[in-house]
Amino acid sequence: MDQDHARDLLQRVGVLRHPCDLDLLVFFARHPRTLMTSEQLAALTGYGLQQTAESLDVLLKAELITRTHTPTRAARMYVLAAHTNEERLAPLLAFASTRQGRLALRELLARASAGRSGDRTAPARDDASEGTRPFLVRRRAEPLPERRVEDRRRGGS
């Protein structure tokens, strides 16, 4: 059921070809005005820089996002287009906001992406191995020792 619904939603939108396209679209739906570099977006989504750039181009060409560039900064302002709330995209974003929906959409896109690359026998994989990987934040097993005010003033530990 979820796969059929996901397939229908992807066909209605018609531009998403890779799981990274979907992840970036969901990111921009949650953060409609974002000032970041492509490297930062790649690190946040866990895809390689090349795949992130290709997915950004897909979203830009479909006019789902816009991008401004300031010569004095490496970061660019990405803005989600106002028409993304139209009836073809809003159901996709609502479905992608659930765990089951996101998994169904990503699975279909991964299969389609692997099929386009010509290797139908290999399982689909993310491009995270090509570049940066998402970082994990872990809790420390034991808390750091508290430093007293006197210790901080002396520079001791």
User: Tens-digit pLDDT profile for the chain (157 aa)?
Assistant: 678 888 888 888 888 999 999 999 999 989 989 999 999 999 999 999 999 999 999 999 998 999 987 777 778 888 888 776 577 788 888 999 889 999 999 999 998 888 766 543 333 344 444 444 444 444 555 655 665 555 556 665 5
- Here the contacts of 92-96 (C-beta below 8 Å, separation 24 or greater) are 92/9, 92/10, 92/12, 92/13, 93/25, 93/26, 93/29, 95/5, 95/6, 95/9, 96/22, 96/25, 96/26
Structural domains in the chain, CATH included, are 2-120 (1.10.10.10)
Q: pTM, whole model, 2 decimals? A: 0.69
Query: What letter represents residue 30's amino acid?
Result: R
- Strands, E assignment, 5-143: 33-36, 65-69, 76-80
Give CA–CA dist 35/39, Å, rounded: 12
